[in-house]
Amino acid sequence: MKNRFKALVAGALIGLGASSCSNFLEREPLARETTKVFLSDPANIDRMLIAAYSPMLWSFSQTQFYPYFIFGDIASDDGSKGGGFEGDLDYMTTIQKFQWNASDPMFELVWQKHFAGVFRANNVLFALEASKEKIAEDDYNQAYSEARFLRGWHYFQLVKMFGGVPIIATEDDYTNIKNISRATEKDTYDFILNDFREAQVNLKLKGEYDATYLGRATKGMAQSYFAKAALYSNETGYYDEAYNFAKEVSGSGQYALIEFEKIWRLENENGAYSIFEVQFEPSAFHNWNIQSTGSYTNMMTSIRAGSDSEFGEGWGFNIPNKELDVLFREAGDDIRREQTLVYDGEVVYPEDGFEMEVPSSPSDTWYNTEGLGQQKYFLPLSEQTPSSIGDHRCNGHSNYRMFRYADLLLFQAELAIKLGKAGEAATPFNAVRTRAGLSSIGAPTLEQVYAERRLELAMEGHRFFDQVRTGQITQRLLDEGFKKGVHEKFPIPQSEIDLTDGVIEGNPSN
pLDDT digits (tens, 9 = 90+) for 62-103: 778 888 999 999 999 999 999 999 999 999 999 999 999 999
Q: What is the mean pLDDT of the chain?
A: 89
* Residues forming beta bridges with residue 342, ordered by sequence position: 373
> Can you give the residue ranges of every domain in the chain?
1-68+84-202+473-510
Give per-residue pLDDT as tens, 293-310: 788 899 899 999 776 666
Give SS3 for 413. helix
Predicted TM-score (pTM) of the model is 0.92
Q: How many percent of the chain have pLDDT more than 90?
A: 74
Residue 9 has pLDDT above 70, yes or no: no
Give per-residue pLDDT as tens, 154-165: 999 999 999 999
Angle between helix 446-456 and 405-418 (nearest 10) = 170
Cα angle vertex 288, ends 368, 363, to 5°?
15
Residue 11 has pLDDT above 50, yes or no: no
* Residues forming beta bridges with residue 295, ordered by sequence position: 396
Instruction: Pick the closest to residue 357 from 318, 307, 306 (CA basis).
Output: 306
Give per-residue pLDDT as tens, 477-492: 999 999 999 999 999 9
Residue 17 has pLDDT above 50, yes or no: no
Sequential DSSP letters for 237-306:
GGHHHHHHHHHHHHTSSS-----GGGTTSGGGTT-TTEEEEE-----TT--TT---S-BSHHHHHS----
Architecture of domain 1-68+84-202+473-510: Alpha Horseshoe (1.25)
The single-letter DSSP state of residue 355 is B
Instruction: Pick the closest to residue 376 from 62, 40, 106, 67 (CA basis).
Output: 67
pLDDT of 6 reads 52
The single-letter DSSP state of residue 347 is B
> For residue 28, what pLDDT band results from cuts at 50, 70 and 90?
low
Q: In whole angstroms, what is the distance from residue 294 CA to residue 279 CA? A: 9
Residue 413 has pLDDT above 50, yes or no: yes
| Contacts (Cβ under 8 Å, ≥6 apart) of 128 | 45, 135, 140, 143, 144, 147
